[in-house]
Amino acid sequence: MTKSTKFISLLLVLIALAVSWFVVRERLDLGNKSEDEKLTPAIVVERKPILYRSEIYGFSFSYPEGYELTVESPEKISVGRKNIRGIETLVEISLVKSGDDTGIQSFEEFVLDGSRELCAINHALLSLSCTRIDDIVRIAPFMSDAGTNGQVFYLKAEVKENTTGKTLGKRRGPFYTFNTSPSTPNEMSFVAIYNPVVLDAEDANEDLIESIAKSFVYRP
């Protein structure tokens, strides 16, 4: 082997060793970071909840920072997120009153009927109606973090295409409901925190809905 050939071979070996060292150093993150930089954990910014309180009805709830609150009336509120088309509603909060035409019924019957009314949609192209509780085992007691008692359930729904008459079976919910009758003299009432009824139950932002329900406080 000539001297030039030996030199070239040695040079290639040195280049290969140098490349291997840089690859290993990058994988082990040994660059120019100091020991302090290597041991410093990532900073996590916690989002503080934002409180909404109804002075009229005495209930309150919190929603995460970064979401938008829309108050259409004291009885109709929503929480959503901004997008290029406006605000996408992710949670609806409604206060439902019994009114004068409710007749004689239990509070539980009133909550079911009121929730079915919240679930109704009538458009030119389609209509939506909720018929009954989706499954009796899904009616479950629920308690907020502040100790306010309520319940959670789903409803069976029927979507009808008005142009064709075709119907589809759907599910709506979850619905978290809390008794607020002490705030409405001579009427029964409840607050429902629920998935927008235009969305199937499978498309619900369950974590956000449940977090708002857990934050619910009622002090009339």
Model pLDDT, residue 23: 47
Q: How far is CA 22 from the centre of its chain?
A: 46
User: Is residue 195 scored above 80 in pLDDT?
Assistant: yes
In terms of Cα–Cα distance, which of 155, 83, 84 is closest to 121? 155
What average pLDDT is seen over the chain?
83
**Bigger pLDDT: 184 vs 35:** 184
In terms of Cα–Cα distance, which of 93, 86, 56 is closest to 72? 93
User: Is residue 26 scored above 80 in pLDDT?
Assistant: no
Confidence of residue 98 (pLDDT cuts 50, 70, 90): very high
Confidence of residue 103 (pLDDT cuts 50, 70, 90): low
Q: Name, in order, each residue with C-beta under 8 angstroms of 39's C-beta and a sequence gap of 6 or more.
A: none
Q: Name, in order, each residue with C-beta under 8 angstroms of 117's C-beta and a sequence gap of 6 or more.
A: 96
DSSP classification of residue 102: -
Residue 125 tokens, joined: 């192209």
Helix (H) or strand (E) holding 1: none
- pLDDT tens digit string along 66-83? 999 999 999 999 999 999
Q: How far is CA 49 from the centre of its chain?
A: 14
Q: What CA–CA distance (Å, rounded) separates 82 from 72?
A: 17
Model pLDDT, residue 33: 46
- pLDDT tens digit string along 109-129? 999 999 999 998 887 777 888
Q: What CA–CA distance (Å, rounded) separates 81 from 188?
A: 32
Q: What CA–CA distance (Å, rounded) separates 165 from 162?
A: 5
Region 175-181: what's the mean pLDDT?
97
Q: What CA–CA distance (Å, rounded) separates 41 from 21?
A: 27
Model pLDDT, residue 137: 52
**Bigger pLDDT: 123 vs 157:** 157
**Bigger pLDDT: 45 vs 159:** 159
Percent of the chain with pLDDT over 70: 75
Residue 166 tokens, joined: 């075709």
Model pLDDT, residue 187: 93
Residues facing residue 167 across a β-bridge: 160
Cis geometry, peptide bond prior to residue 174 (ω within 30 degrees of 0): yes
